[in-house]
Structure 1
């Protein structure tokens, strides 16, 4: 029997009472560890986090909590090699792809540590300037942001067990709100190990950071009016969360990141061989293959002028053909596995569905696996599809295949291109490629309302841009419509979700004392 990972709740490590769910190596097929949350006293755990963890965190200033984030970062950096080993075994990712998750999470944690230090020795934040309520300026109104007196429940996705943890936990803990994280079962090992290393280091107050591995059953039932919940995953599960009595009846604040059919758009005028065209092709291929396309921000739809359909198909296919697929332990492999057999089946089914309305421009089946048994490994080669009639191919605009799959689509003119991009019904990110600053700016503003982030790539930033799919802590992450309507990160904006806004109406002397340095 493999090791059964413990849960950390109510200030102590506890194992579930069941046999547990096995986690597997998606390349070798071997069982790694088991997770289980059966029999845990969830009510007691949530109460402990609220009463013990919350009170202790709120007693500290932003700068003091930021120092804890910095200390946690040092612990995680010291154990970085172990995290890479877990990612290789449990997620099947090559080293560069593991870095997106692991180092991305650490970078985000460090960013919020620095941000919190800049907030200083305060326990609340002012929201705007004071406003006089009458002719006499002595009595005014000042909006303030104070930490919510509840717990933050995170229900995370399988594709980013490190970054998904810290991009949520960093702003929550900095805000003074205790965290209970429920990682996706398939890749819970890395999240659990990171939490264990930080907990064992004794950095945060008891109850500030908890992890529950295994089933999410009963977690939402524990939420009270001042708690918050943040979810990353499918639109179907998001709908269940939104309809839960905790949200509908107790007004629990909820943040959702759901499905997203993201796009890349090449503007007219940049022909094959131009710098913008080459940047476009390179980024499409990178987004199709990084983490085997298992990113919520990955490019799914690729838009080009009608005259460039064939040249773009040829250029993208040529680069995809150089991608080696297989065992991430092999130095020659550039793309590893999907996370498990269920995801492999889902990608195959989604690909078959899209192929009813699209042609195959580059067949992933042509990629022979390197150092991996096709009967065991959850590997699939990158596939580029194409549809000459972008308007009629409605499945392409509605279906997110969560793997190394994208579809090339031609447009007639800019009005047609913008309309096609919007058929994604709200996405996390779109990227626009071209060399005309005015045209790029106009397109960016036209698409901003239906996207959480607009990534504009012109030749002058070809070597500087952070990448279509890379979520930087300084920028907003989220998206309207089908993407969930949520907002995360965005620098200090992330703290808003964990604070309550209130208006304090008082004399100018009282208002001046609101942010007096903590004793």
Structure 2
């Protein structure tokens, strides 16, 4: 039975619908119920796919300029609603309000970029042949499914939706069950501002993702899946293809390393490391999870970093001055504690934090969520759990290194290859590090390497294909060769 009369959070075939049940949406800082969402099942998902298939011919035939105009209108509408959207995101995700607003504004930029990429998704004419010309055409792959995460519930959703629509593909969105309301509202804004035909953009909220996604994957009419989430789930999507190939984009775990050379601007590097680690309480696939600092610079660098960490202010994301929100749930908190306990047991020292954050005396009463102090560990070695498992929380382990090759080899010694960071000033040394690191994204003296114009994605078990940049739209297009005999 529904928790209360179901909210109409399902967009199917141009209509907002309720589901057979509803589920509660909880503020992770207070554990209070802030909303209810429709809990869809396989029947609703297949109805959405039916509508997407019906809409595909018309949207495919819509001119790229018209699709671009629609996406630009949606970007403008998102900017106009940035304040309420940020508040909504904070209420169900927990991140500080300024981070949420930045994510919303970044989402609008992604739509603008997708609009332009759709206009440039052209083919080519090959050089002359005795038999006649050859053509290479780009065509939309077909109905797509976008599975989006809770940690960046706006940017990951909009990036996928924008590229799919720009390419001419109808898209069904499945937001994470922890953050369905921001996804629902973004779909509503895009659908209305872009005046999309019924079935071109649809959304399914659910607490049964395996059932819902499984029903769609079993249907050969679904031609594309774009997933952001855990490596375990992403690999299961690959295995689920069975005997039928389907285009699948995956953006999964990160366990990102950062290397600080002794010639780096140490105050700037400390500020950048703190920002890249503790944004969203460390719950980011590109958060720094392993920090390698050259031994000769460690004594000077550590106080600079600890000063930055000490300035972080845990609390409710909507409260002024908060810079660190809660973890999304207590399962995440348990993992953080397990990693810290294991590291200390094996010889690491706690330089800052190291325990659950007490909300006693906080600006807002009733903060019962999964808060953890921003934490720095020193004396960490590669035998500890935190060295091989992605923590996904506000804990930063520091490793000392002596020579560059050792640091880069240790940075690469992971099944993941999403993002890496390098801090240094010698151009040749930095460039050698960039070339040596086996990661899809390498940030040089930069804590924020995600931009619409750059392709986003990883190597190894961090994923396949790319989103963003001129490469992003390729995941939604098929290539067709045409030979003509004159």
CA-CA distance at 1:17 after TM superposition: 0.8
Q: Are the aligned partners of 1:397 and 1:423 in contact in 2 as well (CA < 8 Å)?
A: no
The ranges of structure 1 where at least 4 consecutive aligned residues each deviate by more than 6 angstroms after the TM superposition are none
Contact kept, 8 Å, 2:229 with 2:251, in 1: the verdict is: yes
Deviation of residue 507 (structure 1)? 4.9
* SS of residue matched to 2:411: helix
- Decide whether the 8 Å contact of 2:170 with 2:201 is kept in 1: yes
Counterpart position of 2:460: 481
State how far apart, in whole Å, the 1-side matches of 2:26 and 2:43 are: 24
CA contact (8 A) 1:66 1:114 kept: yes
Task: Select the residue among 325, 339, 343 that pairs with 1:336.
Answer: 325
Native 8 Å contact 2:145 2:173 kept in 1? yes
| 182-191 vs 396-405, greater mean Cα deviation | 396-405
User: What's the offset of the Cα at 1:207?
Assistant: 0.6
Quick one: distance in 2 between partners of 1:16 and 1:283? 45
The answer to whether the 8 Å contact 1:260/1:426 transfers is yes
Q: CA deviation at 1:140?
A: 3.5
Match of 1:455 in 2: 443
Asked whether 1:444 is paired with 2:437, we answer: no
Instruction: Please report how far the alpha carbon of residue 317 of structure 1 lies from its aligned counterpart in structure 2 after TM superposition.
Output: 1.4
1:468 & 1:22 partners in 2: Cα distance? 35
For 2:286, the equivalent position in structure 1 comes to 297
The structural deviation recorded for 1:3 is 6.2
Distance 1:68 1:507 in 2: 39
Aligned residues: 475
Cα distance change on mapping 1:355 and 1:234 into 2, 3 Å? farther
Residue matched to 1:8: 11
Q: 1:92 aligns with which of 91, 94, 98?
A: 94
Q: Could you state the TM-score of these two structures normalised by the residue count of structure 2?
A: 0.91
Query: Residue 283 of structure 1 aligns with which residue?
Result: 272
- The residue aligned with 1:260 is 254
1:343 offset after TM fit, Å? 2.9
**1:90-489 map, 5 Å:** 90-117=92-119, 119=120, 125-126=122-123, 130-133=126-129, 136=130, 139-148=132-141, 150-201=142-193, 203-214=195-206, 215-216=208-209, 217-223=211-217, 224=220, 227-244=223-240, 247-270=241-264, 276-357=265-346, 358-365=348-355, 369=359, 370-372=362-364, 376-388=368-380, 390=381, 392-393=382-383, 395-447=385-437, 450-457=438-445, 467-489=446-468
| CA deviation after TM superposition for structure 1 residue 132, in Å | 4.2
> Alpha-carbon deviations, 1:430-475, whole Å to 9, x = none?
111111111111111111xx11111112xxxxxxxxx434411111
Structure 1 counterpart of 2:70, from 68, 71, 76 = 68
Is 1:506 aligned to residue 484 of structure 2? Answer: yes
Asked if structure 2 preserves the Cα contact closer than 8 Å seen for 1:300 and 1:400, the reply is yes
Q: 1:28–1:372: 8 Å Cα contact kept in structure 2?
A: no
When residues 198 and 97 of structure 1 are mapped into structure 2, their CA distance, relative to the original with a 3 A threshold, is same
SS of the residue aligned with 2:272? helix
Once the two structures are superposed, residues 364-420 of structure 1 have per-residue CA deviations (whole angstroms, 9 ceiling, x without a partner) of: 4386543245761322221111235x4x43533321111111111111201101101
How far apart, in 1, do the equivalents of 2:274 and 2:194 lie?
A: 43
TM-score after normalising by structure 1: 0.86
SS across alignment from 1:213: coil
1:236 Cα deviation from its structure 2 partner: 1.3
Worse-matched range after superposition: 479-488 or 205-214? 479-488
Instruction: Tell whether the 8 Å contact from 2:73 to 2:194 is kept in structure 1 after alignment.
Output: no
Give the unaligned 5+ runs of structure 1. Answer: 271-275, 458-466, 509-519
Q: 1:39 to 1:141 in 2, by over 3 A?
A: closer
Distance 2:379 2:448 in 1: 23
CA 1:268–1:470 in structure 2 vs 1: closer, same or farther (change >3 Å)? closer
RMSD after superposition: 2.2
- Partners of 1:232 and 1:258 within 8 A in 2: yes
Supply the distance in 2 between the matched residues of 1:320 and 1:3 (Cα, whole angstroms): 44
Distance in 2 separating the partners of 1:205 and 1:86: 27
Unaligned runs of 5+ in 2: none
Cα displacement (A) at 1:102: 1.2
Structure 2 CA distance, aligned partners of 1:180 and 1:96? 29
